[in-house]
Structure 1
């Protein structure tokens, strides 16, 4: 069976006011909010006295500002929630009284309620869905206006992972003509793609909020990176009063530049609406053209090329930043994943920020865009540690009957134009056996999950087919260009009840052993590893089988919540830590996925038991340091994508070994410890292509600090990431150092947070000091709104300090 999906994808670029030549103007509405932690009566009223409230900018996560507490649920990372109030005053020019005014929230966690000038606008339970309100009827043009937002996250056991709380994504204020493009009203898709031609079908929904017919003209044009217009189309139609109309246009693109993971080429699509030969609305969008095809026997084809998807699952927080993650931080994280050879992401288990998808478009990642972790029945949430004794049943299921379809539709409408988004996922492990669904098929001898037996008191899993059918229908109404998938926890049960048959592409979570049998029994089913462990054998199941296109590791980065027992506040299964540093498992993954020659070595004391966190997440015990006791025999593990590796200790060769001789893809030596330098050299056909070195470090002597940026824009949004290491006198990083690092700033900057990546460190996250872990911390610095010189000074008792100079520029 072959499934063919052809795409044109887009994301909106908001022009500055000076660039606006029509009546649409979109501005960031992030600055100068007032915040109060806790519930308070009357805060929605215009006359409410908020002078004592804290001033801040959003995005803002108030959970991450709280204290870790072992009496709080482990599923939420032992951090608090509660109720938070936000208020903001703003003015709208009297000259704009004939325009429409909307406010759009990209995400408020959760149960948000919004008022404008005391008028109640509505409630949105989900914290992950973007939503919009029309403010126009209640705006005081030429006067001050007050918008108030209440966020209620008192039910801390509503998720299996850390969610964050508050207005944790961007807010926009949007001004339009009464005749305008509807929210998420531009959709572009290709009907064919070849190397010489692409046909792009564009649908534009225009709404007329006046009392008279609108004789409207819609024009679209496609512009390449050089600014040259490569295609154009115009259509005219009448939009009746208080109605909307769909304008369908066609572009023919000669010799298109195709979007792919190696070269994510983006065009600019300009859409304008005209009345009486005057532009009254427009949207400017970045566009990628590509074709993707899923084949049950051969896997995935991108623009006709068969590829393997080397993917990771990503949760939406970033440690000390919580869920209010700046785009610059996500860009750094995605570039880190590129170093691994990663080319695909499963955005778990809810819609991520639109800025995240913008970056995936720009950098060349294919994305599974996931909607839910549960439907109409609750799943287990752990209270005292993952898979421990205390648990509850709580979560989104409370809102699914009323809001599930609307949330899914809004997700698709918002995200359907991103070239990065390759599939819609309607759920993660909704079918986990007996959590909550069960079925008599579990008692069959053919069921490979022998731990799960039929529990008749649980909800009947046959219901999954009906719900999936409805959700797929909603998806296809908004986007016929992408397949629908889900991550199945019990592929056997889901196949028996018909859930799997509703999917275009079937994701298997941790069920590699079923691949061969399922492919033989259901030859038309397109299979892939939607969530997998780290072991080499799981990758071989992909690499050695054409019909398996991909794997998505759990997870790319460590994340808060789904925590183990106190004091561990994070989930440890990421291959990259919270601060963005490679763990040994990341180097191992790089040796499997990257085309660029690489080498890594790590050591382990052979007298110690080699811990394995869990069978599926087999972290390599290969520590990146060369400081051990005299006479210790160390197991040296070498990771490389080259043919062979030679090991040297203080310049003396300890032998060359070939990767082909190691079935687990790990070259090993056993070496008595000797102070000095341990060096690995990797070669192909005798040519040295990569090298890695471990050097014995001395006592902690000084602080070393490097910023990823030297210039920050004075926009109150730009963020620099400063990596701080404790080193000895020879600049060798001290992997075992635990010195306390103090951060001091001067100039128009502020400290967003300090991350040390220690999963068991429950010190308050937002202090301007933190203990080093593995000899390092990461400091996030954000610009303010005035240009000038700034510096960050890093000190520690007994160590030479370091200073990082920054330029804050217009």
Structure 2
């Protein structure tokens, strides 16, 4: 701790408050079976039994409208993925349509809800949503990524049927630089409380002092009184240990006037705290109870983690007093064939394989994510850079016919920025400020991009498309940024505010970079050393970086550069090139979550395990400095006999040895960066590599020549599913030869069917140029594999996955679903 304090003394005063903090995660839900005290607050899923109509309905808000003929579905729902790709749509958003759609839901309100408060929560609706209850307009939310909520109580009819209506409008589909999805694409829920209760996002937990011996914990609770009478209340807070034991209690008595809100603060102390770390992400819980007239009227439980962190201008990032390199990936919010409506288990799988890669951080690109992401990162042990916007008051280019091709559109969130930006920042921060995983608030991504739309007369990228006539000067950014920084600090003064800058010279010149607690550099490694010298005290980190070796080397070689965030974690829809390409291929993983060959370099940099990994480079075998060809089958050991093939071995071993069919190969294994290279004559069979450290065999890998496709294999990541209508299994479909070797050259058309108590969400081949409808049950394999995603229903039993392909025997896999 003394070492951490000495380093802290070197920080500017504006950053010292960042060092001793621990933040909490908002509880996702309460158990279905609640005690009488906990019945004071109920959180109820509101995802099921919606009715949907694509197209405008003028009488949509009218509760008397008969919507029984509308399509019945559950949310999260993204209607864009249900339609076909078309070059008539915009390349930026993946050549998929938008439109106007209506959602309606009829629901019964129990009579015993009379006198209670009911709040409706949306975690995200893309975009321009308007909401009505029983014909009364509750409000709107233009930003498609902001969580928001409405108080239903004034218009709710207890003991009767109520009708909720939501209009979603996205007629201008070129409204983003990447795929957004359209509709109620995140979870919805109701919260039922008593009139006196803790307000939405009203709990804030920090730990201003942490040592090995003790942690001081500060908690504030915003309590509201929606009754017509003053209330004599007791506010109690308790810290619950990871094992559930109670570690002390603080309380305050007060009178709360009718219609009033008041913030109550308590201070706790935990002895011998278990810290939240990336390897052991231990979570405590802050329990808040509101007691009125001897009765518990509200209970809120907020998970949090005890940990400290800070950024140092010279020595980088420290977590719990230990220097650490942030090894991150940038994530977009879609997930291949499920589009923007990403099931929780799909998101969890993605985050876990990011962690398995050796990464320890994710960046939310370039908008707030589903709230489940933050809780999962709390539990898994991943740091998070949360981000608010990709554009401010003026729109960036949204390409229509391919990236940097033809004319671009500029409409989008910028049309609502002036009115809504501070509210949207507030929602991001208040919802997420208790998550120990979040370490940075970013107020914008590449807002300073040269000429798009702001122009600096001196610092302009000549390779960029020309700026529009009359484009504003970059000095405008220095006017807007302070209001966003203040919006963050009002609700969380403990975390640093950042931006991902793409034109650092211009941002330096106008003073923007110096307004930030820490400055993110996007692809600006060439300015690291100069700015470290010229701006002493500035914290510089890589906020978005390419995947080439120099990007990581800049982090590894410089203590003051704390991080890298690779662009990008997964291939994503949108930001596409010319038709038929409909998505970015920039990912470390493809859309299926399969690691790409080039990404083994990151495994080498970020992992302590001994690694050897074979790939072949048939198409560019004579190119002296080209590591990977454009071949879709880099793991295919199969060509004409005697053909010389460039073999690449990703390895952190001292030396490697190759064998072919069990016989040593007398070939030169030249070291090229993180790879060994060798030219090998092809012979069918098994090409194997052994890796040695200190003359000890520590790792092996092999490639086997596949025979003709002979059968199908199914491999699921789950043995059973919960019958909750939301649980998901991932099933890898493999085309293999008679010996069971993966036929990596197979491009076999496969059809998947799910029967019983389940549903097929999609079949993914990872091909960003395949314009087959995303929801089609029939796809061609890529590298001999497909990924099927299946979801349970709300009825216990079993689901059966049947896979068929012409010339191959069909195969089945049964997964039980349980309501227990």
How far apart, in 1, do the equivalents of 2:498 and 2:162 lie?
44
Displacement after TM superposition at 1:237 (Å): 2.1
How far apart, in 1, do the equivalents of 2:702 and 2:294 lie?
68
How far apart, in 1, do the equivalents of 2:656 and 2:255 lie?
71
Pairing 1:79-118 to 2, within 5 Å after superposition: 79-118=96-135
SS at match of 1:411: helix
Cα pair 1:489 1:508 within 8 Å, conserved: yes
| 1:479 corresponds to 2:499 | no
Q: Which residue of 2 aligns with 1:128?
A: 145
Which range moved further: 338-347 or 225-234?
Answer: 225-234
| Cα displacement string for residues 520-571 of structure 1 (whole angstroms, at most 9, x for unaligned residues) | 1112110111001010111100001101001000001000000111111110
How far apart, in 2, do the equivalents of 1:453 and 1:106 lie?
38
Change (3 A) 1:417 1:505: same
Which range moved further: 789-798 or 369-378?
Answer: 789-798
Displacement after TM superposition at 1:785 (Å): 1.2
Change (3 A) 1:121 1:452: closer
Cα pair 2:635 2:703 within 8 Å, conserved: yes
| 1:544 corresponds to 2:561 | no
Q: 2:189 aligns with which of 172, 184, 188?
A: 172
Q: Which residue of 2 aligns with 1:638?
A: 649
Cα pair 1:320 1:766 within 8 Å, conserved: yes
| 1:523 corresponds to 2:532 | no
Cα pair 1:741 1:796 within 8 Å, conserved: yes
Change (3 A) 1:700 1:621: closer
| 1:276 corresponds to 2:293 | yes
How far apart, in 1, do the equivalents of 2:348 and 2:703 lie?
29
SS at match of 2:265: strand
Cα pair 1:442 1:453 within 8 Å, conserved: no
Cα pair 1:237 1:247 within 8 Å, conserved: no
How far apart, in 2, do the equivalents of 1:493 and 1:656 lie?
52
How far apart, in 1, do the equivalents of 2:666 and 2:284 lie?
52
Displacement after TM superposition at 1:456 (Å): 8.2
Which ranges in structure 2 are unaligned for 5 or more consecutive residues?
Answer: 1-9
Q: Which residue of 1 aligns with 2:6?
A: none
Displacement after TM superposition at 1:262 (Å): 1.3
Change (3 A) 1:15 1:657: farther
Pairing 1:731-742 to 2, within 5 Å after superposition: 731-742=740-751
Which range moved further: 594-603 or 566-575?
Answer: 594-603
4+ residue segments displaced more than 4 Å? 448-456, 606-613, 617-622, 655-658
Q: Which residue of 1 aligns with 2:664?
A: 653
Q: 2:639 aligns with which of 605, 625, 628?
A: 628
How far apart, in 1, do the equivalents of 2:287 and 2:625 lie?
54
Q: Which residue of 2 aligns with 1:587?
A: 600
| Cα displacement string for residues 751-782 of structure 1 (whole angstroms, at most 9, x for unaligned residues) | 11111111111011112221111211111110
Which range moved further: 279-288 or 320-329?
Answer: 279-288
Cα pair 2:201 2:431 within 8 Å, conserved: yes
| Cα displacement string for residues 625-682 of structure 1 (whole angstroms, at most 9, x for unaligned residues) | 1012222211111112333222221112236988xx7352111111111111111222
Pairing 1:253-268 to 2, within 5 Å after superposition: 253-268=270-285
How far apart, in 2, do the equivalents of 1:450 and 1:632 lie?
41
Pairing 1:43-58 to 2, within 5 Å after superposition: 43-58=60-75
Change (3 A) 1:761 1:622: closer
Q: Which residue of 2 aligns with 1:676?
A: 685
How far apart, in 1, do the equivalents of 2:87 and 2:533 lie?
49
TM-score (norm 1): 0.96
Cα pair 1:130 1:410 within 8 Å, conserved: yes
Q: Which residue of 2 aligns with 1:603?
A: 616
When the two structures are aligned, how many residues end up with a matched partner?
A: 802
Q: Which residue of 2 aligns with 1:576?
A: 589
Pairing 1:13-32 to 2, within 5 Å after superposition: 13-20=28-35, 21=37, 22-32=39-49
SS at match of 2:489: helix
CA RMSD across the alignment: 2.0
Cα pair 2:399 2:408 within 8 Å, conserved: yes
Q: Which residue of 2 aligns with 1:710?
A: 719
Which range moved further: 25-34 or 381-390?
Answer: 381-390
Change (3 A) 1:714 1:157: same
Q: Which residue of 1 aligns with 2:236?
A: 219
Q: Which residue of 1 aligns with 2:777?
A: 768
Q: Which residue of 2 aligns with 1:561?
A: 574
Change (3 A) 1:570 1:782: same
SS at match of 2:175: coil
Cα pair 1:189 1:200 within 8 Å, conserved: yes
TM-score (norm 2): 0.95
Displacement after TM superposition at 1:390 (Å): 2.8
How far apart, in 2, do the equivalents of 1:611 and 1:569 lie?
32
| 1:798 corresponds to 2:811 | no
Cα pair 1:312 1:553 within 8 Å, conserved: yes
Q: 2:767 aligns with which of 727, 741, 758?
A: 758
Displacement after TM superposition at 1:612 (Å): 11
Pairing 1:256-405 to 2, within 5 Å after superposition: 256-405=273-422
How far apart, in 2, do the equivalents of 1:249 and 1:646 lie?
63
Q: Which residue of 1 aligns with 2:472?
A: 459
Change (3 A) 1:402 1:451: closer
| 1:809 corresponds to 2:818 | yes
Cα pair 2:76 2:186 within 8 Å, conserved: yes
Q: Which residue of 2 aligns with 1:697?
A: 706
Displacement after TM superposition at 1:793 (Å): 1.2
